[in-house]
A and B are shown apart, each in its own frame.
Chain A
Amino acid sequence: MTGLPDRIYIPGDSAARSVGADGVADALAAALPDSCEIVRNGSRGLFWLEPLVEIDRDGVRLGFGPVTPDDVADLVATGFPDSSHKLALGPVEDIPQLARQQRLIFARCGLAAPSDLEAYARSGGLRGLEVARTLAPDTIIEQVKTSGLRGRGGAGFPAGIKWETARKSSGERKYLCCNADEGDSGTYADRLLMEGDPFTLIEGMCIAARAIGARHGLVYLRSEYPDAIRTLKQAINVWREAGHFRDLVDGADVDIEVRTGAGAYICGEESSMLNSLEGKRGEVRAKPPIPAISGLFGQPTIVNNVLTLGSVPWILAHGGEAYRDFGIGRSRGTQAFQLAGDVARGALIELAFGVSLRSLIEDFGGGTRSGRPLRAVQVGGPLGAYLREADLDVAMDYEALAEIGGMLGHGGIVVFNDRVDMAHQARFAMAFCAIESCGKCTPCRVGATRGRETLDKIIAGDEIEANLDLLQDLCELMTDGSLCAMGGLTPMPVRSAIERFPEDFTRLAAE
């Protein structure tokens, strides 16, 4: 079938824009009649297909991609044929890498314009909040506890238990802070949701606010995400005008404010983030007290990641037990795995916990983009371990990764080919920690700089054995003596690189 559509979609998402979506939108606007509506939707997260143009034909979304501005004339002239065109992908929902996902949080991402509240409601949005409005706060918390939802920001702390603590703490006011600092390399899921389906986050925040009794919501959003900041602010305004903030906490309204970060990785650590939200240096605070008891301005505060809060609408709409049916062991529900680096089909893959790393990289990712052999994979961001090919059969859940000395973190998976030099990667881990350390404790502030210098010597072939011993001592000191996980976990990528790729550290000695 062919024919010009009434409505055509081209993402306004910054990743799609980074590879030319704006140019495609302009070309479409010039080539199509005015009667055809051009929607700047969110991205589906299938990045290797971006810019991905979609049309609606008889209620089915057909995809074309990746489209360049030069392709537009031909697509319009041929009437967007269902299959015969070289860019035709067929029904988007049937693309195997999407069809085989289990999208709960990201079910709506990319369907509509991010500020289209009617489309949001039509595709199942608002149902979780409607249910939550009929429930007492304690019952909401029970549902979240039943679901087994754990924090998606990295530490994996059970969300329901945190909420319960904040619910029970008393203070003049309570705060709900959404951690949208997403600093980990290889992760972009928070950004994708905020740019593609921000109402899901806002709805989750409304439910959380009601559960803990917080009328003040803040989103701490990194400055590196200007598009997400704009989109989320706009969506909050639409939400407010529609009245969905009203009457949520003991008859009172809730509101959400977006605050911009300022380029400090450590501000993703929750207590550093609270200092930053108070207008201070983002130094880490000693615990206790935990934020749920004394957080922002000394008041009971919940800090949750974007995806933790984004999971809540589905849990309320379908029940905690339905959510718990996904996943394995103590890792319940779905995780947004993010494929990055040298990977052929870079994409966000939302699946129940327990899928193997190999399946994600090979079946979904299609191996390396360069075609070179895979050599290393870093899972869990800059503080996560480097794994090798022989580790790929590990099940992706919190415990299984911890067992092999790794961590899931925020779900980022960075693929490296055989050109990677693991001594340089270890050096980078130390250098990054030295740049981003908040400076509060010595093992991290001084240790990271010493670690980088020691690795420089190893890379230069200078007394390799002795310096490797020194580096191990430093790693131990940082692990045991750091106040937070920045200094405490930087040894993880360093040690995993030494352990799994020793040849890269001793090469110079052998030569």
Chain B
Amino acid sequence: MPMLIDTIDDATARAACARLANRPDALIEILHAVRRASGFVSDAAIATIADALNLSRAEVLGVVSFYHDFNRRPAPRHVLKICRAEACQASGGEAVATRLESAFASAADTIEIRSVYCLGNCALGPAALLDDRPIGRLDPDALIDELTVSGVLSGGVE
């Protein structure tokens, strides 16, 4: 039923647009606000934003798909962004990323790993960002221990 989506108004997206005066040039900020509040950018959010900013849905979708930050599916509660760029590669980051990817595989519902390219912490690599918390000299075992204790990786490690 293609019409259905038109009837869903995403309240979060509507409010974010209103806060920024329904300005089309504020689209990126609006999408950030939606992503922060909802964890992702839904079809309904896209339709609502298009309506509020007087843009076509394709235009909004085109912007959403251009930027790595705007995930179209719900994200788990925690996101670990691991730097995969050159300076962190030079500090052994690839082995760390591989180790964490396999350790987190069984906890995909609570924590997601994303690759990012430089976090501006290149003198203390490997670098990561756990939600908004910066981690330098990333020690995979210490992080696995911490997340096991805090219940994020509830017993499912290894």
Contacts and interface: CB of A to CB of B under 8 A. Distances in A.
Contacts of A282: 66-67
Nearest to A347: B123
Given A15-B134, A19-B136, A416-B90, A279 B120 contact: no
Interface stretch (B2-10, B26-34, B104-112): B26-34
Contact of A414 (B26, B81, B122, B133): B122
B129 interface: yes
A262 B32 contact: yes
Given A262-B32, A262-B67, A382 B85 contact: yes
A331 interface: no
Interface string A322-359: 00000000000000001111110011000000000000
B87 A340 contact: yes
Contact of A188 (B81, B90, B120): B120
Contact of A186 (B32, B87, B134, B137): B87
Interface in A391-424: 412, 414-417, 420
- Most chain B beta carbons < 10 A, residue from A259, A263, A276, A382: A263
A432 interface: yes
Nearest to A189: B120
Contact of A276 (B23, B28, B116, B117): B28
Contacts of A504: none
A47 interface: yes
Interface in B29-83: 29, 31-32, 62-63, 66-70, 81
Nearest to B94: A424
A184 B117 CA distance: 8
Interface in A232-249: none
Interface residues of A, number: 62
A14 B63 contact: no
Interface in A443-472: none
Contact of A224 (B25, B62, B89, B118): B118
Contacts of B133: 17
Contacts of B85: 185-186, 382, 432
A283 B87 CA distance: 27
Interface in B100-141: 116-125, 127, 129, 132-137
A230 to B, nearest CB: 10
A347 B124 CA distance: 10
B-side interface size class:
35 or more
A48 B137 CA distance: 11
B155 to A, nearest CB: 26
Contacts of B145: none
B86 A339 contact: no
Contact of B124 (A18, A185, A420): A18
A262 B68 contact: yes
B91 interface: yes
Nearest to A48: B123
Contact of B28 (A259, A339, A417): A259
B67 A18 contact: no
- Most chain B beta carbons < 10 A, residue from A14, A17, A378: A14
A260 B66 contact: no
Contacts of A17: 133-134
A280 B123 contact: no
B28 A47 contact: no
Interface in A203-255: 223-228
Nearest to A272: B66
B120 A191 contact: yes
A100 interface: no
A15 B91 contact: no
Interface in A281-318: 281-283, 297
A187 B122 contact: yes
A284 to B, nearest CB: 12
Contacts of B32: 223, 260, 262
A428 B121 contact: no
27 contacts: A15-B123, A15-B136, A19-B124, A47-B123, A47-B124, A182-B118, A185-B85, A185-B86, A185-B117, A188-B122, A260-B29, A262-B28, A262-B69, A265-B117, A279-B24, A279-B25, A279-B27, A279-B28, A281-B66, A338-B123, A340-B87, A342-B90, A378-B86, A412-B122, A415-B90, A416-B90, A420-B90
A338 B28 contact: no
Contacts of A346: 122-124
B124 A428 contact: no
Interface string A163-191: 00000000000000000001111111011
A342 B88 CA distance: 9
A190 B63 CA distance: 26
A343 B88 CA distance: 11
Contacts of B122: 185-188, 338, 340-341, 346, 412, 414
